[in-house]
Amino acid sequence: MAERLYRTQVLLEPEQHRALSEIAQREGRSISDVVREMIREQLKEREQAKEAALQRDLALFERIRQHREAILAERGGKPLDIDVVEMINQMRDERDEELYSVIFGHRD
């Protein structure tokens, strides 16, 4: 038994329709069959690209993990003890003072 097909309407540009018609005629197939094949191939390519991107991301995460482990080993297993919010606030204050000095001259 054949796979169930769904009817859909797609509007094509004249150039696209002409090209599909030529392919279908040359291969002795229907335009619908050619379009289904093209869609199937494009979906497969997109899925492969998605999988490749996932594998790249996983490899990057693994490199980050390895880098973290190397840093921890270098520090004797002790993580950095930094208050990130405080550090950001301090950097902002320093930058504000720097900008104030540039704009208004040195302040005492």
Mapping DSSP to helix (H, G, I), strand (E, B) and coil, where does residue 43 land? helix
Q: Measuring CA to CA, how many Å separate 40 from each of 59, 65, 69, 90, 107?
A: 29, 37, 43, 56, 69
**Separation of alpha carbons 4 and 16, rounded Å:** 26
DSSP E strands: which ranges in 1-108? none
Residue 75: predicted pLDDT = 87
Length of the chain: 108
Residue 107: predicted pLDDT = 57
pTM of the complete model: 0.60
What does the pLDDT profile of the chain (108 residues) look like in tens digits?
478 999 999 999 999 999 999 999 999 999 999 999 999 999 999 999 999 999 999 999 999 999 999 999 998 888 888 889 999 999 999 999 999 999 988 655
Give the domain ranges of the chain.
14-104
